[in-house]
Amino acid sequence: MSTPPIETFPNPAPNRRYVITHVNPEFTSVCPKTGLPDFGTVTIRYIPRERCIELKSLKYYYLSYRNEGIFYEAVTNKILDDLVAACDPEEMTVTTEWRTRGGIHSIIEASYHRSQQQ
Amino acid sequence: MSTPPIETFPNPAPNRRYVITHVNPEFTSVCPKTGLPDFGTVTIRYIPRERCIELKSLKYYYLSYRNEGIFYEAVTNKILDDLVAACDPEEMTVTTEWRTRGGIHSIIEASYHRSQQQ
Amino acid sequence: MSTPPIETFPNPAPNRRYVITHVNPEFTSVCPKTGLPDFGTVTIRYIPRERCIELKSLKYYYLSYRNEGIFYEAVTNKILDDLVAACDPEEMTVTTEWRTRGGIHSIIEASYHRSQQQ
Amino acid sequence: MSTPPIETFPNPAPNRRYVITHVNPEFTSVCPKTGLPDFGTVTIRYIPRERCIELKSLKYYYLSYRNEGIFYEAVTNKILDDLVAACDPEEMTVTTEWRTRGGIHSIIEASYHRSQQQ
Amino acid sequence: MSTPPIETFPNPAPNRRYVITHVNPEFTSVCPKTGLPDFGTVTIRYIPRERCIELKSLKYYYLSYRNEGIFYEAVTNKILDDLVAACDPEEMTVTTEWRTRGGIHSIIEASYHRSQQQ
Amino acid sequence: MSTPPIETFPNPAPNRRYVITHVNPEFTSVCPKTGLPDFGTVTIRYIPRERCIELKSLKYYYLSYRNEGIFYEAVTNKILDDLVAACDPEEMTVTTEWRTRGGIHSIIEASYHRSQQQ
Amino acid sequence: MSTPPIETFPNPAPNRRYVITHVNPEFTSVCPKTGLPDFGTVTIRYIPRERCIELKSLKYYYLSYRNEGIFYEAVTNKILDDLVAACDPEEMTVTTEWRTRGGIHSIIEASYHRSQQQ
Amino acid sequence: MSTPPIETFPNPAPNRRYVITHVNPEFTSVCPKTGLPDFGTVTIRYIPRERCIELKSLKYYYLSYRNEGIFYEAVTNKILDDLVAACDPEEMTVTTEWRTRGGIHSIIEASYHRSQQQ
Amino acid sequence: MSTPPIETFPNPAPNRRYVITHVNPEFTSVCPKTGLPDFGTVTIRYIPRERCIELKSLKYYYLSYRNEGIFYEAVTNKILDDLVAACDPEEMTVTTEWRTRGGIHSIIEASYHRSQQQ
Amino acid sequence: MSTPPIETFPNPAPNRRYVITHVNPEFTSVCPKTGLPDFGTVTIRYIPRERCIELKSLKYYYLSYRNEGIFYEAVTNKILDDLVAACDPEEMTVTTEWRTRGGIHSIIEASYHRSQQQ
């Protein structure tokens, strides 16, 4: 799949370690097995370095998954990879919480720490 | 008792330590003392290595307890043993929360840490 | 299916119109289409005449559905018919609320009014 | 059983139809079948005529049930009878809500309307 | 006791029957029996005619009860009488909800309907 | 737009007036003005006559709106029209509740009463 | 004050009596006495005739109060008058709920019924 | 006071450190000063060694306090002492939460750690 | 201001480090600037040494602030100082949470650790 | 923009490390991109040294943002800078939580630690 670009803007306080959280309770993609839609809440939490994520482009980025077939574990890791590539943060965590399927609901949480990359 | 196999699929991000949680609020088994049903919520939380647990087989695995007589403490530890055997995770925690019996409700929580095994 | 008898005891205040409610959040039966279990809360609310429903026999009556295949609409009407036959109340309402299946959850409510029977 | 007297005091606004509610979430009595304690919330709601119920005596009245064996339906109707006798209200409703027993919780509600007595 | 005057202002829509509600969760007075403070929430709900109640004077009116000994039933009826006298409404209801005393909490509700006065 | 057929099955209690409710918190369509997705909960509540609505076909019916541009008021009335045509009920109400757009969230509720048609 | 026009669009189901609700939890105006801002939730609920209220223009209409000094009772009635004038509904109710001021929070509710106008 | 014995059964997973929690919201004892009943929730949380606490005997153990006069601080420590003596756990915490008395509610929490005993 | 004495009683388990919490949601004092009452919840949490705080005297101690003018920060620190002086605990934390004033609500938390005093 | 001065008063307990929290759920500013208002809750939490923040001046400080265009990340850091400058605390954290825009809601949290400044 090709996703729209995630835009960024200059961090207004680049010398301070602080935390930005964006919560999207309206995420939807498609189960690759059944072709049925999945619904979830995607939360990103990051410590910016030079760039912050621009909210409108983030919304369109999420929208690009609407008719894509992708598993919970894969979409969570892909969002993390894409957002880290876009804004090069100090740290970032992506959490996805999914509505009940077959009586079970799921939560996936993946993190990136810049200092732990080589 | 014999339980159906727990299927797995390849972890899409095997190089990242991340956390997967599956919550099943529809677990039921039978009290071995009274023969009456017990109802509970079973939550598994794990850090995968090479394999992730497939959700549909997990549902059928849980269903196999429906008419089995087994104590709270035993079923919690057995689920942990079976799921660890199935997917060989880095870490896993199984929590079972049970509806009121005799005015008392109970929670059992057991964990596995791969690094602490010899 | 054959269900165990619902026992009753004499109403301690037969000259007063009053309301008795029993809520069972631990009802489970089986979907006749898929063979998978359904979970729900069954609430009965009635105005007794000469007889009240005995709670322990009600519990065993509910348990008899555990491995029966029956639709939401049918089980709700059958519980109402069985309980009315057992205690001949002035009025009775049975409400069943079911956990999510396929993203949809359902509520069925059926009532009996003695004065409206011929 | 003998219960302590329920004291009353003169209604400060006898010419106005108004509603007084007292909620006691700390009621306990004993199940006559099993000898085990029952726990519930007793709510009384009434329109006074000449006399209002005094709260301290109401507390001691409730306490007198602590070690008495009595069924849900009976205790609800007895409290209503005793309080109506004590204060001769225009209307009164007694509602008892009981904690889970055998997976089922119950609510009993009985009312008195002075105008409907002969 | 003497209470400060309740001020009013002209109803901006005197030709429309509409409802105004003011909720004060910070009411306190004193129990005349024990001398200990009572705490409650006082809600007034009324349909104005020519005059509306001014909020700041209402606040000071409530404050005047802070060190007064008065029973639940009496204070509820007195507030209703005082506010009806101040603004001559079409209808008014005063509800007082009191924090737990001796394990029991209480609610008193009194209403005035202009059309039912002679 | 063309929607998939809504299947029905025979009402198991056609001689009793009773109420069936199905709640779908996972409805999504598209705003015809902006092209952006709308998310909502669709609740149907009906009294069946000869036929009940089959749940799986209802799910696929809802899915057919996923990429359709349609206004809140129009979709609510269209669902009501389609479901009434499918099962010819005694009464039916469709309620749609929509997530916040521009700081405002909306609820639309439309009903059909067979006895009021000519 | 001059407010921006409230736009409308044709009711897609003009032959059916149905109910539209729009909730805005982000309303703010200014207290004319103190000059301090007031914050509230404005809910409109109406049965349309020929025209429905367009949401974007409603948002801008609400925004025009941001720096206006106006009392709770006046703003509620003015919104009702303006919206009735804009869409000529069968019925409409405006409810405003305000955040705490001086320890008291307030709710104002005004309605219009076309059939009761002469 | 003499309390009934607390029975135990063999831990089904003695080689794993795991946590068992039992919550009893129906505890009642008597205030030794006033003779009035106290109501609370007792929670025990422990890591078993060789023996687990049997639930039915735990229920009867709690019941034995029903007519005993004992202070909050004393009953909490006595339950901890008795349960540690019964099952010799690795760790145990007893928490008691009490309903409001004189406008104040209280929580007492005491722990035992086997490794810290000499 | 002079406050009534805080009474204590011997700790029934002086050899165990355990935690006692008392929550009073009915605290009221007076703002020294405006003369208007403040309302808050005062929570004390401490590890006793030789003496425990007696609840009835604590209630009267709190009551002594009812008509005292004192700031949030000052009253929190004064309660901590007075209670530490009364019972000489191992540790104590006092938390005060205050109802909204001018749209803002406040929480103050102060602690004492015996080991950190010289 | 120019903001009104933040007043302070002497810390009544300068020798104790304690925590003061002020929560303002009524913050509003303007989005610099769209000109539309943003609404949020601003929470400050600090450990004072010599001076505490005076609440009334804090309210007016917040009010000065009402018609200012400023981004989430910028306003959070500016409030932190201004308040640190005003009261020179040991530590301070500012958290801003914003209402949904485009289906996404955001939280920004920035902290200052005096010991980490050079």
pLDDT in tens, D56-70: 999 999 999 999 999
Q: Work out how many CB contacts closer than 8 A connect C with F.
A: 52
CB contact under 8 Å between D13 and E111, yes or no, is: no
Reported as a single tens digit per residue, the pLDDT across J9-41 is: 999 999 999 999 999 999 999 999 999 999 999
CB contact under 8 A, I107 and J55: no
| pLDDT tens digits, one per residue of D85-99 | 999 999 999 999 999
| Residue J71, both tokens | 């981004």
Tell me if chain E has a CB within 8 Å of the CB of I39.
yes
pLDDT at residue F2 is higher than 80: no
Q: Which amino acid is at C86?
A: A
Torsion of CA E59, E60, E63, E65, to 10 degrees: -110
**Which backbone phi and psi does B15 adopt, to 5 degrees?**
-90, -5
Angle B33-B37-B41 from CA coordinates, rounded to 5°: 115
Comparing C-alpha atoms, which of H81, H22, I53 is closest to residue B73?
H22
Of the candidates H9, H6, H78, H91, the residue with the CA atom closest to the CA atom of residue H42: H78
Residue I19 and residue I9: Cα distance in Å, rounded? 16
> What confidence tier does G83 reach under pLDDT thresholds 50, 70, 90?
very high
Where residue F28 falls among pLDDT bands split at 50, 70, 90?
very high
I chain contacts of residue J52, beta-carbon cutoff 8 Å: 73
Mean pLDDT for J67-88 is 97
Q: How far is CA G72 from the centre of its chain?
A: 12
Strand, coil or helix: C47: strand
Chains contacting C (3 or more CB pairs within 8 Å): A, B, D, F
CB contacts of J39 in chain F (<8 Å) are 103
**pLDDT score of I2:** 77
Query: Is residue G35 less than 8 Å (CB to CB) from chain I?
Result: no
User: CB–CB of G36 and J63 under 8 A?
Assistant: yes
- Contacts with F36 from chain A: Cβ below 8 Å: 63
Annotated active-site residue A87? The verdict is no
Below-70 pLDDT ranges, chain C? 1, 118
Cβ of G111 under 8 Å from any chain E Cβ?
A: yes
Identify the closest residue of chain E to D45 by CA–CA distance: E107
D29 in Cβ contact with D37 (< 8 Å): yes
Nearest to B21 among A102, A107, A111 (CB): A107
Interface membership of A25 toward F (CB under 8 Å): yes
Nearest to D59 among E74, E102, E105 (CB): E102
Confidence of residue A116 (pLDDT cuts 50, 70, 90): confident
**CB of D100 less than 8 A from some CB of B:** yes
- Cβ-Cβ contacts under 8 Å, D22 against chain E: 104-106
Q: What pLDDT shows up at residue G19?
A: 98
- The confidence score (pLDDT) of residue J1 equals 67
In which band, very low, low, confident or very high, does the pLDDT at F1 lie, cut at 50, 70 and 90?
A: low
Residue of D21, D28, D63 to mutate when probing chain E, most E C-beta within 10 A: D21
Chains with 3 or more CB pairs closer than 8 angstroms to B?
A: A, C, D, H
- Which of D25, D63, D99 lies at the smallest CB-CB distance from H37? D63
Residues of chain I with Cβ-Cβ distance to J17 below 8 Å are: 111
Residues of B in contact with D105 (CB under 8 A): none
Under 8 Å CB pairs connecting chains D and E tally to 53
> How many other β-carbons are positioned within 10 Å of the β-carbon of residue B9?
14
Angle B32-B33-B35 from CA coordinates, rounded to 5°: 65
DSSP state of F9: E
Look at residue E17 and tell me whether its pLDDT is greater than 70. yes
C54 Cα distance to chain centroid: 13
- To test the contact with chain J by mutation, choose from I73, I77, I101, I118 the residue with the greatest count of J C-beta atoms within 10 A, namely I73
Nearest CB among D101, D105, D111 relative to C18 is that of D111
Is pLDDT above 90 for D2? Answer: no
Identify whether the C-beta of residue F80 lies closer than 8 Å to the C-beta of residue F94: yes
B81 min Cα distance to partner chain H (Å):
10
Q: Which residues neighbour H33 within 8 Å (Cβ) at sequence distance 6 or greater?
A: none
Interface check A112 vs F, CB under 8 A: no
- Res D50: pLDDT: 97
Higher-pLDDT residue of A61 and E102 is A61
The reply to whether ipTM tops 0.85 is yes
Q: Which residue has the tokens 């007893």?
A: H94
Q: What is the pLDDT of residue I116?
A: 86
Element (H or E) spanning D13, and its range?
none
> Chain B contact for C4, CB < 8 A?
no
Tokens 């949680």, residue located: B21
- Give how far F97 is from chain A: nearest CA, Å: 14
Query: In which band, very low, low, confident or very high, does the pLDDT at F116 lie, cut at 50, 70 and 90?
Result: confident
- CB of F31 within 8 Å of any CB in chain A? no
pLDDT band of H1, cuts 50, 70, 90: low
Q: Cβ–Cβ of G59/F106 closer than 8 Å? A: no
Q: How far is H85 from chain B (nearest CA, A)?
A: 20
CB distance C52 to C9 below 8 Å: yes
Nearest in space to C104 (alpha carbons), one of F3, F43, F61: F43
* Among H104, H111, H112, the residue to mutate for chain I (most I Cβ within 10 A): H104
pLDDT-based confidence at A39, cuts 50/70/90? very high
| pLDDT at position J95 | 98
Please check whether residue F55 is in contact with residue C72, taking contact to mean a CB–CB distance below 8 angstroms. Answer: no
pLDDT for B118 beyond 90: no
Is the CB of residue I58 less than 8 Å from the CB of residue I70?
no
Q: Quick one: pLDDT at residue H117?
A: 80
Q: Distance, in angstroms, between B13 CA and closest chain D CA?
A: 43
Please, what is the end-to-end C-alpha distance for chain J in angstroms?
28
CA D52 vs. chain centroid, Å, equals 14
* Residue to substitute from C7, C9, C18, C79, interface D, most D β-carbons within 10 A: C18
pTM greater than 0.90 (yes/no): yes
- How far is J30 from J41, CA to CA, in rounded Å? 14
**Which chain D residues are within 8 Å of H66, Cβ to Cβ?**
37
CB contact under 8 A, F77 and G18: yes
Q: Do J103 and F99 touch (CB under 8 A)?
A: yes
Q: Residues A83-88: what's their mean pLDDT?
A: 97
Neighbours of chain E (3+ CB pairs under 8 A): D, G, H, I
Q: How far apart are CA H1 and CA F56, in angstroms?
A: 62
Contact H3, H75 (CB under 8 A): no
Does residue I86 register a pLDDT over 70? yes
Residue A1 pLDDT: 67
The answer to whether D25 faces chain E, any CB pair under 8 Å, is: yes
Chain B CA closest to residue H52: B73
CB contact under 8 A, I99 and E26: yes
Distance CA J83, CA J87 (A): 6
Model pLDDT, residue E118:
61
Pick among B7, B18, B95 to test the A interface (most A CBs inside 10 A): B18
CB within 8 Å: I18 and H103: no
Q: Is G30 on the interface with J (CB under 8 A)?
A: no
Average pLDDT over all residues of chain E = 95
Q: What is the pLDDT of residues H21-65, one digit of tens each?
A: 999 999 999 999 999 999 999 999 999 999 999 999 999 999 999
Do strands H37-47 and F91-98 pair parallel, antiparallel, or not at all (unpaired)? unpaired
CB atoms within 10 A of CB I45: 19
Distance CA H83, CA H69 (A): 20
Q: Count the neighbouring beta carbons within 10 Å of the beta carbon of residue B95.
A: 21
Is-contact I25 I43, C-beta < 8 A?
no
Nearest residue on chain I to E38, alpha-carbon basis: I26
**Contacting subunits of J (3+ beta carbon pairs below 8 A):** A, F, G, I
pLDDT for residue G111: 97
Q: Does E39 touch chain D (CB under 8 A)?
A: no
Q: Which helix (H) or strand (E) holds A109?
A: strand A105-113
Chain B residue nearest residue A96, CA to CA = B20
Question: What are the pLDDT digits (tens) for D9-37?
Answer: 999 999 999 999 999 999 999 999 999 99
Q: Which of D39, D99, D103 sits opposite B99 (nearest CB)?
A: D103
Q: Give the pLDDT band (50/70/90) at residue H118.
A: low
Which of J73, J102, J111 is the closest to A20 by Cβ? J73
Q: Position of tokens 């869409």?
A: G87
Q: Which residues of I are catalytic?
A: 31, 38
- What mean pLDDT comes out for the span A69-88? 97
Q: Do chains A and F touch (3 or more CB pairs under 8 A)?
A: yes
